[in-house]
């Protein structure tokens, strides 16, 4: 009886062992293909990360070089523009200043005489209004005595004023030639400002992708890391293209300033 019991237990153990092996075998057969596929996808993603990172570093270096070139050229342009604006103010400045000083001095010299002539006229008019013929006569005599001198003084002042006005008009005309040559600079700078705003938007998207990329790296998720690194590279390439545009515009500003400088020397 004991032998039968022991034999039955042995058969039961053998059956359970066989069943477990069968289940495990089926499980391995069913799960083997997806596991291999996942491993293959991960390896492919890892390879992509490697290639993308090389491209990322190359574009990032290119961006750094272009940005440095933009900074240097912009500084040069701004300095030249400041000097040019100062030069515009200096066009015929000494001539105008000299004529202005001469005009002011002439007015000051003749001021007492003209003030006296004007005052005598007012006094004569007041006397006539008051029917004081004698006083009116006296004022008229005094006024008429310096009439020619007053007329000469006014003519002298007018000549100085006309010379000053002509010099100012001539200066304004010369200023305009140079300033007109610089008008396009403002429009180009607006293009640069607009492009910098676009770069700021790109940089926000790049920063967001960079956070997701670093998070994927921490968790060992090569597939997500590859996808986010690709987004990073895409935004970086866009930024590179924008910086190329800005560099081109700064070169255009440089050309415009040079053209304006040439007009200044004519």
- The DSSP code sequence of 157-204 is HHHHHHHHHHHHHHHHHHHHHHHHHHHHHHHHHHHHHHHHHHHHHHHH
Mean local confidence (pLDDT), 66-91 = 96
Which pLDDT belongs to residue 57? Answer: 92
Cα separation, 107 vs 110, in Å, equals 5
pLDDT tier, 52 (very low <50, low <70, confident <90, very high otherwise): confident
Cα separation, 101 vs 97, in Å, equals 6
Q: Is this prediction's pTM over 0.75?
A: no
Burial of 52 (C-beta count, 10 Å sphere; 0-12/13-18/19+):
buried
Burial of 33 (C-beta count, 10 Å sphere; 0-12/13-18/19+):
exposed
Backbone angles phi, psi at 24, to 5 degrees: -65, -40
Which pLDDT belongs to residue 154? Answer: 98
Which pLDDT belongs to residue 3? Answer: 38
Q: What is the pLDDT of residues 55-66, one digit of tens each?
A: 889 999 999 999
> pLDDT exceeding 70 applies to what percent of the chain?
84
CA 37 and chain centroid, separation: 51
């Amino acid at each position: 009886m004991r032998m039968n019991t022991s034999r039955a237990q042995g058969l039961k153990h053998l059956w359970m062992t066989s069943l477990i092996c069968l289940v495990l075998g089926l499980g391995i057969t069913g799960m083997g293909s997806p596991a291999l596929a996942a491993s293959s996808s991960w390896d492919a993603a890892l390879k992509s990360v490697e290639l993308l990172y090389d491209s990322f570093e190359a574009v990032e270096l290119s961006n750094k070089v272009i940005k440095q070139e933009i900074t240097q050229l912009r500084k040069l342009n701004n300095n030249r523009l400041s000097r040019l604006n100062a030069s515009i103010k200096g066009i015929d400045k000494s001539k105008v200043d000299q004529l202005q000083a001469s005009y002011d001095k002439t007015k000051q010299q003749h001021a007492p005489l003209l003030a006296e002539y004007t005052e005598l006229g007012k006094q004569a008019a007041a006397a006539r209004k008051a029917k004081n013929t004698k006083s009116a006569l006296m004022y008229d005599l005094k006024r008429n005595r310096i009439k020619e001198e007053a007329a000469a003084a006014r003519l002298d002042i007018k000549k100085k004023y006309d010379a000053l006005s002509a010099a100012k008009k001539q200066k304004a005309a010369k200023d305009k030639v140079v300033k007109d040559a610089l008008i396009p600079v403002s429009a180009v700078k607006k293009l640069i400002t607009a492009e910098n705003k676009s770069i700021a938007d790109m940089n926000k998207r790049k920063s967001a992708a960079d956070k997701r990329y670093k998070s994927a790296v921490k968790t060992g998720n090569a597939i997500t890391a590859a996808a986010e690194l690709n987004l990073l590279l895409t935004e970086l390439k866009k930024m590179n293209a924008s910086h190329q545009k800005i560099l081109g515009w700064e070169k255009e500003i440089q050309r415009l300033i040079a053209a304006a400088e040439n007009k200044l020397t004519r």
